[in-house]
Structure 1
C-alpha cells in the first residue's frame, strides 16, 4: 500500500465530491470502499478500504479515455476495475462517441462475451446475450424490470458497464449470463455544452443538445435532449424518437449530496418488414408486412431521486428511489413460410400487444469502513423494495397471404378481440449484506448474501387470479490476490436466481470463475482474461410420462464453459485500441422441446463458439482529423433449440472519420457494415438479416 494512507472520516474537497456524485445509485457495490480521504502535502489523494483508488482525478476522466479505471456497476461507490473480482467491461462516453453508437446493441458490439443482432432488424427491444443467456439490464444500478419494453437511449448515458456472469447477490433476481448497467449523465459543477445535427441513410435526420452549469455553489443542473426522424432500410418504415432528460444536483455541504433526474422517452418505429422468405436471399428493401400495421409505439417517463450522507466517522448512508411509467403498443404482420412451399405466395399472420406498466423501486444502504492494523474492513448492509404492475393484452389472427414477387397489401381485419390478457403484480422485498476485508495490502476477501422475498399475482381475461410467493437466498464469495500493484488475480463463486413465474420453481444459476487483470504502470491500459464454468438449474422442461402425457417439470439444466479476453489501450495520446475474444462451449445437460423431444447434448441458440472484435482510432491533431476502423467476427450458431439450422460465420467492418472544420466544431462521418455484408442472423418461419450499411454525417459543436 502507498505511504499516502488516508484517515477515515476526513471530508473530501468539492472536486472529489463532484466525482463521487456520479456513484451513488444502486443495490450493491462489488467491492465497497470509503469515499473519505485526507490530503498529504505534494501527494495524491486515495480512497481507503479495501482497495486503493486514485480520487484526485476529475469526474469525467473516463469520458476522455476508452480505458475506465473505476467501475460504478454497484453504484454506491467507485471500485477499482483492476481489483474487482469479476469479468467486467466499461464502454466509456469517448468510445461511444468514436463509434457513434446509437443503440444499446451498437454500444455492446465490441464487448467480449456479448452477442447482438441475432434478431436482425426486429428492433422491438435491445436484443443481446451474455455468455449464452439473456442479460438483465439496470439503470444506475436499479433494475429496469417491467420498463424493459423500450429500447434504451444511448445519448442518455455517460458510460455502459457490463458484468459477465451470475450476480443475484449484487442485484437480485436475474438470469445467470450477466448484467448491463446504464450510467445516466448527471450535472457537473462547471459550465459546458454541446449540440449536434445528423443526416444519414434512410432519410435519417437527428438533432441533440447537452448543456449544464452551476446555479450557485450548491446547485448544478444538466439538460439533455434529442429528436430523431428517420426511416429504416425497408419500405413503409419509420424510426422516430424523442428524448428529454433534466437533472439537478444539490450539495449543501461536503457530507451531503442529492440528485434528482427526470426523463421522458418516446419511440415510434416499424420493428421489422415481416421477415423474408426462406427460398433465397432477398433485398433488404422488400417489405412483406402491412403498411401502418407493422408499428411499435412506446412512451416512458421516469423520476429518480438519490441521496448520500457521510457522517464523517466511517459511516455513510445512501438512498435511491425511482418511479417509472410505460405504455407499449405493438403490431406486427409477418410471413409464415416453410421449406416445402411452392410458388410465390406466402402465408402471413398478425400479432399485436397493448400494455401499460408502472414500477416503484428503491433502496437504503449503510456502509461502514474501518481499519485495524493491516486489515481494511468495509461492511455494507441494505434493504430494497420493488413494486411493479403490468396490464397487457394480445391479439393474434391470420392475414391474407402475399405474393413475394409482386406484393399487394390487404390490411388487417378490424374488430379483433384479445385472445389473452393479464394484470400482473410483482412485489419484491430484499435484504443484503456484504463484507470486504483487505489483508496486508495484497489479499482481498469478498463475501455476500442476499435474501429476496417475492410476491406474484396474475388475473386473466376471465377474472381468474393466481398468485405465488418465493423466498430465495443467493451468496457470493471471492478472493483477490494482488501479485503486484499492476497485476491482480481472483477466484470467485457467484449465484443467480432468475425472476420466477407463478407455479414454477425459480431457476438458479451458479458460476466459478478464475481471472487475471493487468494495468501496466505509466500506461493508460487494462488487459483482462477470465475462464468460467456457468450452470443454470431447475429449468422447466416438457417430460413425457409413462402414460404418454406430457407434463412440465423443473429438472432441466444448461451449462456453458468459456474464456473471455479483453484489451483496452491508449497506445499514445492519439492512438487507442479496444479488442476482445470469446470462446463458449454450450451444452443442454437436460432439456426438451415443448413436445417432450429430448435436446440433451445440444448447443444453445444464438451462441457462437468463437467471436472476436477490434476497434482502433487514430487522431492527427495538427490536421484536426481522426480515423476509426473496426471489425466484428461472429462464428456460426444454431437458430433453434433442436439444432436443425445454423448460421454462417461473418465478419463486419465499421469505420469513422472526423475533421475539425472550425474551432470547437467537428464533422464526423460514420459507416456501419462498411461493405454492406448480408447474411441470415435468425431463421424460423422466415429469415431475418443483419442490418445493412448505414452512413451518417454529424456536425458537432461544443462550448
Structure 2
C-alpha cells in the first residue's frame, strides 16, 4: 500500500531583499511539533499570511486549498506586523469574524463568528480551543489568554462538532502554541504606548542537547496598562516553558505549560445605558471615559495555569497515533458594580454590586489514529479518534443594591453595602466523543466524510439549598464535503456540517431539554495561482441554530425549547502579493440574520418616545450582528528596510436590542504601522527593529455593540504602541 502524497510546501516570502525565504511546513495536527514558525532572518515581515496549511479543519496536515471549508489562518508574521494585543486583534481582518464586540471591557477577546458568540457570553466561551483542545475555565470566564503564547491563530467557520464535540454553530478559534525549535532563535521586546502601557517580552528556543534530541523554549511577558476610563489599572504576568523530546525517528513528546496572572482593577461589566450612547439623551452624550463601578469595591484577580503534552508515534507510513492532553486550573476573584437601569431623569443610574469567587479544574484528552492507504486509484486518509473532557468548577456569588450614580457627574468612593451570599454551587460537566473521518482523493477530487457520537453529562449541586440536578445528553453529528482542485489553482467545493451544544435543565413540565443543534450548507471556491503567494476564497452559506432556548412567557423563570435562528451569508477573503514588496489582506462579509422560530416577546427602547416597548421576536434580526463587515490591510516594504502598513475596518449598523427598535451606528476605523530594520542601515545593529503601530488612528468615538436595554459598549479609543525588538 502507498500513502497519500502530501502537497508541496508553500514558501513564505522573505521581505528583506537579499535574505533567504523559509519553508512553511507543518507536521502537527493541533498537537505535534511544527516546523520553524517564522523566518528569523526576515526582520521586516510582509504581513501576508505565510501559512497555507490548516490543522484545525481536518486535524491533519491538509493544505487550505484542499480543505472544503472556509478557514482563516493568521500567522505569527501577520501578528507581528500588526503588533496585536489580543486574540481579537489577531482575527480582526478575517472574513466572517466580528471582533472586540464589547469594546475595551473584555480586553479584546469578545468575538463572534458568523453572527454567533456575541449573545452575552464572556469572551469567546464555547468556541475557543488551544492546540485542538477545548479551553474552558470557570463558569464566569474562559479564554482571554495572552496572544504572545501562540505561533498562529486559525478560525474555522461553521459547525465543527464532528472533530471537536460540543461547540457553538458559528465556528471556533484554535490557537496553536509556540513550540521548541531546532535552531537557536529568540527575541526580546520592549514596548511603550498609550494608556500607560509598559511591556517586556521574551521568547527563546533551541536545542538543549548536542544531538538535538531535546529542545526547549521559554516564552514570557509582563505588562502594565489601563483603559480609557478611570480606576482601570491592569497588570499581567505570563510565563510559558515547553520541551520537545525526540524519542527516535518515529516518536516525539512535546510538553507545554503556562502560568498567567491578571490583576485588573477596572470593571469587566462597564456597560453603559442605551439612552446617552446610541439614543439621544436630553442631558447630553455619556462619556466613553465613564467608569460605572467604584474603586472601593472593584477587582478582577485571575490565575490560570496549565500543563499538558502532545505525543506522536509513527508506526509506519500507514499508521500514526497521536495523543494530546491538557489540565488547566483557573482561580477567579471578581467584584463588580454595574448599571442596572437608567432612571426617569435620564441621568441617575441604578446600580448593583456583584461578586464571586470561582475555581475550576479542566481536564481534556484527545486520542486519534491516522491511517493512510490506497485502494486502486483512490487514496484514503482515515482519522479515528476518542476524546474526553471533564470540567469541575465551584462558584460562590454575592449580591447587593449599590448606590446610584449620576452618569454625567459621577461621584466615587461611595460606601458600598456588604453583599449577601446568594449562590454556592458546584458544577461537573463531562463529555466523551467517538469520531471517524475519511478524506478520499481521486485525482483532483476530494471527498470528506465524517461522523461523531457524543455523550455528555451534567451535575449541579446547590450547597445553600442542599439540592442537586443531573442530566444527560447525547448527539450524533455528521459532516460531508466535496472539492475538486483544478490545475489552474481553482478549487470549488460544497459542504454540509453539524454541531451540538448540551442543554441542561428542564421546562415547566419537567421535560429535559434536547441538545441545541447547528447545521450548515456551504458552497465556495478557493484560488491559489501557481507559483504565487496569493490566496483567495469566496463562500456562501446557510447556517441554522436549532433547539434554541427561549423564555417561557407563561411560566416566568422557565425556558421552552422552540427557537431557531438562521444566518445566511457571503464571505470574501483575499491574501494577495501584488509585487514582491507589496501585499494586501482584504475581507468582506454579508450576513443576513433572522429569528425564524420563537415564542418570545422581547423588549427595546423606542428612540422617538424613549419608552420601553415589546414585540414578538419571530421574524426579527439578531441584535449586535452587522449586515456588512469589511476590512483591508496593505503592507509595503521598501529596499532600505522600511515597512509601511495601513488598514481600514468597516462595520455596518446593528440592532441594539432584541426588539429591533434601537440601532448602533456604523463605524469605520483606520490602523497604521511603520517598521524599521535598523540592521539594514548599520551592520552592528543586525537583528534590531523599531516599530510603531496605531489602532483607530483618528480616535473615532463609536459604540461597538449593544446587547440589550442599558447594555452598550464603547469601542477602543486610539491606541499607539512603539516596540524595540532584538531578534536573533
2:182 is equivalent to residue 189 of structure 1: yes
Say if 1:297 and 1:427 are closer, same or farther in 2 by CA, change over 3 A.
same
2:170 is equivalent to residue 177 of structure 1: yes
2:345 is equivalent to residue 320 of structure 1: no
2:493 is equivalent to residue 490 of structure 1: yes
2:667 is equivalent to residue 665 of structure 1: no
For 2:593 and 2:372, the matched residues in 1 are separated by: 41
Task: Give the gaps of 5 or more residues in structure 2.
Answer: 9-21, 118-123, 507-512, 603-613, 679-684
For 1:169 and 1:232, the matched residues in 2 are separated by: 40
CA contact (8 A) 1:400 1:410 kept: no
CA contact (8 A) 2:343 2:350 kept: no
CA contact (8 A) 2:255 2:310 kept: yes
CA contact (8 A) 1:114 1:130 kept: yes
Deviates more, 1:662-671 or 1:175-184: 662-671
Deviation per CA, 1:238-260: give whole Å up to 9, x if none: 12111110110011222111100
Shift of 1:410: 4.2
Name 1:467's counterpart in structure 2.
470
- TM-score (structure 1 length as normaliser): 0.89
Q: How does 1:62-73 map to 2 (within 5 A)?
A: 65-73=48-56
Say if 1:556 and 1:18 are closer, same or farther in 2 by CA, change over 3 A.
closer
Aligned to 1:421, which of 417, 424, 433? 424
CA contact (8 A) 2:306 2:326 kept: yes
Task: Give the gaps of 5 or more residues in structure 1.
Answer: 27-34, 36-54
Name 1:41's counterpart in structure 2.
none
Name 1:49's counterpart in structure 2.
none
For 1:308 and 1:692, the matched residues in 2 are separated by: 45
Name 1:30's counterpart in structure 2.
none
- Report the secondary structure of 1:149's partner residue: coil
Q: How does 1:321-470 map to 2 (within 5 A)?
A: 321-338=325-342, 340-342=344-346, 344-411=347-414, 413-439=416-442, 441-460=443-462, 461-470=464-473
Deviation per CA, 1:293-312: give whole Å up to 9, x if none: 33321110000111111112
2:539 is equivalent to residue 530 of structure 1: yes
For 2:71 and 2:214, the matched residues in 1 are separated by: 33
2:593 is equivalent to residue 586 of structure 1: yes
Say if 1:289 and 1:542 are closer, same or farther in 2 by CA, change over 3 A.
closer
- TM-score (structure 2 length as normaliser): 0.86
For 1:604 and 1:407, the matched residues in 2 are separated by: 33
CA contact (8 A) 2:4 2:379 kept: no
Say if 1:67 and 1:569 are closer, same or farther in 2 by CA, change over 3 A.
farther
CA contact (8 A) 2:37 2:151 kept: no
Aligned to 2:194, which of 192, 195, 201? 201
CA contact (8 A) 1:24 1:75 kept: no
2:583 is equivalent to residue 565 of structure 1: no
Deviates more, 1:58-67 or 1:364-373: 58-67
Deviation per CA, 1:487-546: give whole Å up to 9, x if none: 11111110010232233221101000001000001210100000000011111223455x
For 1:76 and 1:529, the matched residues in 2 are separated by: 22
For 1:471 and 1:664, the matched residues in 2 are separated by: 54
Name 2:607's counterpart in structure 1.
none
CA contact (8 A) 1:264 1:302 kept: yes
For 2:111 and 2:269, the matched residues in 1 are separated by: 20
2:143 is equivalent to residue 140 of structure 1: no
For 1:625 and 1:693, the matched residues in 2 are separated by: 23
- Report the secondary structure of 1:230's partner residue: strand
- Report the secondary structure of 2:446's partner residue: strand
Say if 1:6 and 1:431 are closer, same or farther in 2 by CA, change over 3 A.
closer
Name 1:506's counterpart in structure 2.
515
Aligned to 2:715, which of 687, 690, 693? 690
For 2:689 and 2:38, the matched residues in 1 are separated by: 21
2:124 is equivalent to residue 106 of structure 1: no
CA contact (8 A) 1:385 1:430 kept: yes
CA contact (8 A) 2:553 2:600 kept: no
Name 2:652's counterpart in structure 1.
635
Say if 1:307 and 1:468 are closer, same or farther in 2 by CA, change over 3 A.
same
For 1:21 and 1:85, the matched residues in 2 are separated by: 20
- Report the secondary structure of 1:132's partner residue: coil
Shift of 1:674: 0.4
- Report the secondary structure of 2:148's partner residue: helix
For 1:75 and 1:686, the matched residues in 2 are separated by: 38
Name 1:25's counterpart in structure 2.
31
For 2:583 and 2:483, the matched residues in 1 are separated by: 29
CA contact (8 A) 1:516 1:529 kept: yes
Q: How many residues are treated as equivalent by the alignment? A: 662
Name 1:676's counterpart in structure 2.
699
CA contact (8 A) 1:664 1:701 kept: yes
Say if 1:9 and 1:71 are closer, same or farther in 2 by CA, change over 3 A.
closer
CA contact (8 A) 1:160 1:181 kept: yes
- Report the secondary structure of 1:476's partner residue: strand
Aligned to 1:222, which of 214, 217, 230? 217
For 1:659 and 1:220, the matched residues in 2 are separated by: 31
Aligned Cα root-mean-square deviation (Å): 2.6
